[in-house]
Amino acid sequence: MKYSVIITAAFLAFILLSPSASGQIKLNLRSKINREANKRANNKADKAVKKTFDSMEEGFKDALKDDNKSDTTARDQKNSNAGQSTDNSGKTESAGAAESKDRSPVLTWAKYDFVPGDKVIFEDNLEGEENGEFPSRWDLMRGAVEVASLDGENVIMLREGEPGIVPYLKDPQKDYLPDVFTIELDLYYPGGGTFNIFLYDRKNQKSGSPTGYTDVEVTSDQLTMGQSRSRYPGENLKKSRWMHIAIACTNGKLKAYMDDTRLINIPHLDFNPKGLTLYSYHARNDNRYYVKNVRIAEGGVKYYDRVMKDGKIIVNGIRFDVGKSTIKPESMGAINEIYNLMKENPGLKFSVEGHTDSQGNDDFNMKLSQERAEAVMNTLIKMGISADRLKAKGWGESRPLTNNASPEDMANNRRVEFVKM
């Protein structure tokens, strides 16, 4: 093939260059050569055009792919943006999160800010009461009321005849509630009717309220006072159950709590609270109400002011199971106050010190007070207070505030102190 091409080229060159060749032959050859040259040129042009169009077509295809990809990306981005919300900081969150946030907003609510008064002015834990007798620290307004034993523990039983009782005090007609006070009690609600806590002595005092709304009304899951009414947010509550009720009044502003939640918050009462009556219109032998651990205490100075003035905070609001170091739920109001105080004042360090009353064995009380102090300390550490800011010490009954001559004296001696280090 290679040699054939060489011979043909040489022959053509000879014909074109030979002077003896005839003009006709030259003319014919030139004509053929031109045609062939034009044909090849055209073929090359066609190929070039074809290649160009092929290249352009590929470019169009790529462009179309890019456009489709861009459209898809844009649609995806649009859909993604449609499923996102942006907060003030520029951060985004998914539609599911935003929708969930709408359904269940993050709630910051000081639902249990109860802190008991620091000076006990009346307390009845029914110590030494005889079963079947009328409770000795109370007076009868009406109905049938007796001491009973429920699960081995003394309780006040309101059983029939619209029973009502008031504290048995000297000069009960006088106002014995200070401007700042707290009331606490444990109530067994039997499942029906209402239990009423009146803030005046219905046997010896007049209410002084123009509207007549002077009581906190209790049902299994609700507290009511006048037009203020609120349900406990817990689920699957038993209709018959023990509950802790607390009331705090500060110069006419009243808050009421069921267990661990504040349900009533009244800014201004229309009367002056002067006393206490525990009452139930619906009590009967098949619907008995039981009460225990009633306490009235006078309010005190804020924790920060106390520690700055006295170098320590005396807290009567931290409660424990009898003879144990298990902290009761209603203690969290006071513990939260200490936690917030230490969080806001990082330089504060406390020795958490436990004290008991004089009842029981000295060695047992010493051990118990140490365990209780450690329980409070460990609770604060779990909440986030650094361990190097706390220590625990138990003093038993060795450092009483009073002589343990009355239930109120013993209640004031049962305390936890936070001593500044």
* pLDDT tens sequence across 207-236: 999 999 999 999 999 999 999 999 998 878
Residues 186, 230, single domain; the answer is yes
Is 162 among the domain residues?
A: yes
Is 189 among the domain residues?
A: yes
The 10s digit of each residue's pLDDT in 351-403 is 999 999 988 889 999 999 999 999 999 999 999 999 999 999 999 999 998 88
> Following DSSP, what letter does each residue of 328-370 receive, concatenated?
PGGGHHHHHHHHHHHHH-TT--EEEEEE--S-S-HHHHHHHHH
Residues 60, 127, single domain; the answer is no
Residue 387 DSSP class: G
300, 319, 349 - which closes a domain: 300
- What is the pLDDT, as a whole number, of residue 17? 47
Residues 25, 130, single domain; the answer is no
Q: What is the mean pLDDT of residues 344-353?
A: 93
Is 83 among the domain residues?
A: no
- What is the pLDDT, as a whole number, of residue 98? 42
Beta-strand (E) ranges in 95-214? 119-124, 138-150, 153-167, 180-189, 195-198
Q: Which residue carries 């045609």 as its tokens? A: 35
Task: Please give the residue that has the higher pLDDT: either 4 or 166.
Answer: 166
Residues 305, 233, single domain; the answer is no
Is 84 among the domain residues?
A: no
Pairing of strands 241-250, 228-231: unpaired
Instruction: Tokens for 352, please give them.
Output: 């958490």
Whose CA is closest to 342, among 388, 396, 405, 273? 388
Is 90 among the domain residues?
A: no
Residues 174, 287, single domain; the answer is yes
CATH number at residue 379: 3.30.1330.60
Percent of the chain with pLDDT over 70: 73
The 10s digit of each residue's pLDDT in 302-323 is 787 788 888 998 988 888 988 8
Provide the CA 313 distance to its chain's centre, in angstroms.
26
34, 62, 77 - which closes a domain: 77
The 10s digit of each residue's pLDDT in 59-106 is 444 444 444 444 444 444 444 444 443 343 333 344 444 444 444 454
Put simply, whether the predicted model's pTM sits higher than 0.75 gets the answer no
pLDDT band at 33 (very low <50, low <70, confident <90, very high): low
What are the helix (H) ranges across 83-127? 95-103
Task: Give the separation between CA 135 and CA 239, rounded to whole angstroms.
Answer: 27
77, 96, 129 - which closes a domain: 77
- What is the pLDDT, as a whole number, of residue 322? 84
What dihedral angle (degrees, nearest 10) is formed by the CA atoms of 43, 47, 50, 52? -130
Residues 271, 151, single domain; the answer is yes
CATH number at residue 292: 2.60.120.560
- What is the pLDDT, as a whole number, of residue 51? 52
Residues 309, 295, single domain; the answer is no
Q: Which domain holds residue 327?
A: 301-421
Q: Degrees (nearest 5) of the Cα angle 119, 158, 211?
A: 70
Domain count, the chain: 3
